[in-house]
Chains A and B, each alone.
Chain A
Amino acid sequence: MTDHTEASPTPKTRTNRPGAFALLVNNRLAAGGLLVLGVLVITALAAPILPLADPNATAPADRLHLPFTPNHPFGTDMLGRDILSRLIWGTRVSLAVGVSATLIAAFFGSLIGLIAGFSSKRVDSVLMRGIDMVMAFPYILLALSIVAVLGPGLINALYAIAVVNIPFFARNIRGITLGLSRREFVDAARLSGKSRPHILLSEILPNVLPVIVITMSTTIGWMIIETAGLSFLGLGAQPPQADLGSMLGEGRKILFTYPHVSLVPGVMIFALVMSINLIGDGVRDILDPRLRSGALARPVARTAVARSRKPDTRPLMEATVLDVKNLRTEFRIGSTVLKAVGGVDLHLMPGECLGLVGESGSGKSVTAMSIMGLVPTPPGEIAGGSIFYRGEDLVAAKDSRIRVLRGGAVSHVFQDPLSTLHPLFTIADQLIETILAHQPMSRTEARDHALDLLKQVRISNPDERLNAYPHELSGGMRQRVCIAMALANDTEIIIADEPTTALDVTVQAQVLALMDNLRREKNAAILFITHDFGVVSAICDRVAVMYAGRIVETGRTEDILNSPAHPYTRKLIDCVPVLGEPERRLEAIEGLPPSVDDLPRGCAFAPRCPYADADCRHGDIALTATNGGRAVRCIHPLAQTTEETVVG
């Protein structure tokens, strides 16, 4: 422990992310918006030096020229003023007003939001009640009222639009600030001796700024429309000054006869706002971390299958209920391919409980979720291998067949029972729906069956609980409901993905006992995913240990625990404190697991393994069967002793 533990180039290699601007330009729509807006802004800025006619010079003789007349490319209006000149000057005004209104609203709104979100409850509720009051007015009505007070005029319209938008910013920023101020790093900064104002400025503000920028970029177009709207009604820019709204408003009166007078400024407003909105969307896509990581991609109903090779046709084991052969599941994110599961073989006998053990990122959950095609696509896909359910290859099966099996012969219990139950439906709804999806019966019969299921999982007052919503139950009870749901339709295989990890120990013990009893009663096989060898001991007949997407060792639970053959298994057992052995020194596994987009050649564990030699570092190492149904993927397996090393 004296030298630095990071041998491999960790921390996670810095990705060469392109800069924000480069990303924006790469987004074709945003780039288009940027181009249009750039041209418009430059033209508007250059208005004083462009050879334009005086925008306000009237020429009654030149009234209402159509576009493309000499000297007047866009024609003239009813007072003979040059529309092109008015358009460019008007754009200048509209842009200036829209941008200033946005800046004012963003500044004051964000300030209120930051203070409300970070102050005491009392300050917060006073500020937010005020904001609510303002928001109780329909937006434009409030702007109109303000203009009514201040009197018509461009600057007054600007103030009105800015004021009306302050609540919008305040609400948004307050929400973000409130969320951030509850984060642990704020407490940490307090304990680092920072004062509260300092925390607001140096810890919270940097995290809020992107949100302010996103909000600004999405509201600025709106503000331009709104100020133009006030001018359109004659309450903003006053004649003879031109802004886009007032030009449109003046032109409206002669819409039927000379539509170009109103169409030209209208199209300009649209072009301006559209280009700003395109950029705004682009900015949001870049700054919003969820969008950037592709987390908002919608998973489809079933994992995509992209088997390049013909699945292997080795004879299946006799009498298995589930037989997974050389399963490979990958995640494609951009150009990187994460080989989450890199060739897994496992099988399950009827009524048997197999523990799939590994650390996070080992591929154990992905393996389990691949079976019924529940790995999210995009980005996941099954890249190879076969999954046989009673001899039938599920990878090749039709969607309709998978749907019949899901919740029928193969059911699931997931980790967090609160998030896996639908929050808006009662327990009865959710159970009955599961039953009716697979069994032809009436709703009343299904309800009786649901009641019976709740009794089986030993929920007290099942009648009452049927009508409860998930949030009204405790964690342990919710997980019992999930188990009941898994048992609803004569299941043969239960895929249980860390079903007790989110539970307290005493509740965990209850749930484990329940699952163990039920599987014996119903003769259902369980694929039990966990990271805890203690839990494995409590319920699993056999165990398979995964590391970096492959199974490194498998065998009967007692055998593996008593004499692990793979150094990783040995280390994984030894690094956990065991109840009753407080004096034992914990053997930490140095380093970190390899990243599955860049696996080392040879044994994936070699860089962390004390026994590794040159042979371990090249070539594929096979999972080799030894005696007693055991198999290990190691060239230097540990001696198998009969001595009880772990269990005291």
Chain B
Amino acid sequence: MAAYIFRRLLAAIPVLFGLTVIVFFIMKLIPGDPATAILGSYATPENVARINAELGLDKPMLQQYVIWLGNILHGDFGRSYSLNKPVLDEVLGRFSATLILAGTALVLCSILGLVVGIVSAVRQFGWADRILTFIVLIGISTPSFFLGLLLILFFAVKTRLFPASGMYAIYGGGGILDLIHHLTLPAITLAIVATGVIARLTRTSMLEVLRQDYIRTARAKGLSERKVVMKHAFKAALVSVVPVIGIQAGFVLGGAVYIETVFQWPGIGSMLVTAISTRDLLLVQGGVLVVAASYVIFNLIADAVQTMLDPRLRR
């Protein structure tokens, strides 16, 4: 098992490497000449050449990449011109906020999705199943940014139960309770779609598993139905649900872009949107890299959990 996880970690290295390649070239593709952008009206050809040499932009592409990668590995993500501070500082500060939001949403959608899926499957074609299936369908049909607005309108504007924006109260804020208070609406909004996806998949996997021969065996052994469903069927269904939870981590991390914008959550998502509109490309690059890397790690965890569940994968 440990050896397996080590192997998977090794296998993640080329993926991370590939990420940096993609990000590097995306940034290279962006139209516009950095030197001209920096110099503005001072962009004489001599000045441009000087800046290019300073930034290493006159070197071959591959060499540029190696230098760039070296900097990244040393934690040098460059300097954000719009904020006038190192990209890494800004990105890491905001990443913790995103992680709190996305992590909560991920936990929420996993639990809720699994429960709804199991209930639906066990009560297949019953009332509970019909109602849940319909609600789930509504959930995945509602754009999260619209749902966020609805929740703000109802819970923040109309009933004032929860704050409409921010991570902590401005006056007298701080502390875990304040955080939870602020976290509730955005986390729920972010979790809804993923809950729907996980619930649907759990339902199908459970139904698929419940017709397997080994379920009949479990029943033929005289086990209680509770054990048959919650132990035998659920464990087998979980094997196919776990990787999808890993994929949902990506949707949740990405969806944070909308939710953070709607709820003005000080995370990477809202930072990215601002950075794209102000064309602060180094900031975009730093944010994308950090989020993508964390997604790779989420998937790695999902992978390890799946392997823990299924001995057939341990080879």
Q: Which residues of A contact B253 (CB under 8 A)?
A: 138, 141
Majority SS of interface residues in chain A?
A: helix
A471 within 8 A of B: yes
The answer to whether A372 and B220 touch across the interface, beta carbons within 8 angstroms, is yes
**Interface contact B18-A424, CB-CB below 8 Å:** no
Within A364-417, the residues touching B (CB, 8 Å) are 372, 374, 376, 403-408, 411-412, 414, 416
User: Which chain A residues numbered 106 to 161 have a C-beta less than 8 Å away from chain B?
Assistant: 132-134, 136-141, 144-149, 151-152
Q: How far is the CA of A255 from the CA of B213 in the complex (A)?
A: 55
* Interface size, chain A (Cβ < 8 Å): 77
With both chains docked as a complex, state the minimum distance between the C-beta of A146 and any C-beta of chain B, in angstroms.
8
Instruction: Assess whether B128 is interfacial by the CB under 8 Å rule.
Output: no
Report B241 CB to chain A, min CB distance, Å: 13
Verify if B245 is at the interface (C-beta below 8 Å from A).
no
> Within 8 Å CB of A434, what residues of B?
221-222
Interface contact B30-A138, CB-CB below 8 Å: no
Task: Name the CB-closest residue of A to B27.
Answer: A149
The yes or no answer to B153 lying at the interface (CB within 8 A) is yes
Contact indicator per residue, chain B 204-234, by CB within 8 Å of chain A (1) or not (0):
1011101111111111111111001000100
Q: How many residues on the B side are at the interface (Cβ–Cβ under 8 A)?
A: 79
| A136-B19 in contact (CB<8A) | yes
Map CB proximity to B onto A416-440 as digits: 1 under 8 Å, 0 otherwise.
1001111111000000011001100
Docked CA distance A241–B145 (Å): 20
The answer to the question of A270 belonging to the interface, with a C-beta cut-off of 8 Å to chain B, is yes
Cβ of B145: which chain A residues have Cβ within 8 Å of it? Answer: 229, 232, 248
Which of B146, B157, B228, B253: most chain A CB closer than 10 A? B146
Q: Is B277's CB under 8 angstroms from A270's CB?
A: no
In the complex, are the beta carbons of A299 and B257 less than 8 A apart? Answer: no
Given A149-B26, A298-B124, A412-B220, are A469 and B312 neighbors across the interface (CB < 8 Å)? Answer: yes
B22, B212, B214, B225: residue with the most chain A Cβ atoms closer than 10 Å:
B214
Q: Is B94 an interface residue (CB 8 A)?
A: no
Q: Mark B284-296, 1 if CB is under 8 A from A, else 0.
A: 1000100110011
- Given the known interface contacts A138-B291, A139-B254, A270-B141, the answer about A471 and B124 at a Cβ–Cβ threshold of 8 Å is no
Chain A residues lying within 8 Å of B223, measured Cβ to Cβ, are 403, 407, 433, 437
Per the bound structure, the CA–CA distance linking A434 and B219 in Å amounts to 10
Can you pick out 5 interface pairs between chain A and chain B where the beta carbons lie within 8 Å of each other? A137-B19, A141-B288, A234-B273, A420-B213, A424-B309
Known contacts A269-B143, A274-B137, then 12 further A-B pairs from the complex at CB < 8 Å, ordered by chain A residue = A138-B292, A140-B257, A141-B257, A233-B273, A266-B146, A297-B125, A403-B222, A403-B224, A407-B221, A407-B223, A424-B310, A433-B223
Where the two chains meet, the residues of B that have a C-beta atom closer than 8 Å to any C-beta of A are 15, 18-19, 22-23, 26, 29-31, 121-122, 124-125, 134, 137-138, 140-146, 149-150, 152-153, 157, 204, 206-208, 210-225, 228, 232, 235-236, 239, 249-251, 253-255, 257-258, 261-262, 272-273, 276-277, 281, 284, 288, 291-292, 295-296, 299, 309-312
The 8 closest A-B CB pairs, nearest first, are A140-B254, A407-B222, A266-B146, A407-B221, A138-B254, A138-B250, A274-B141, A406-B222
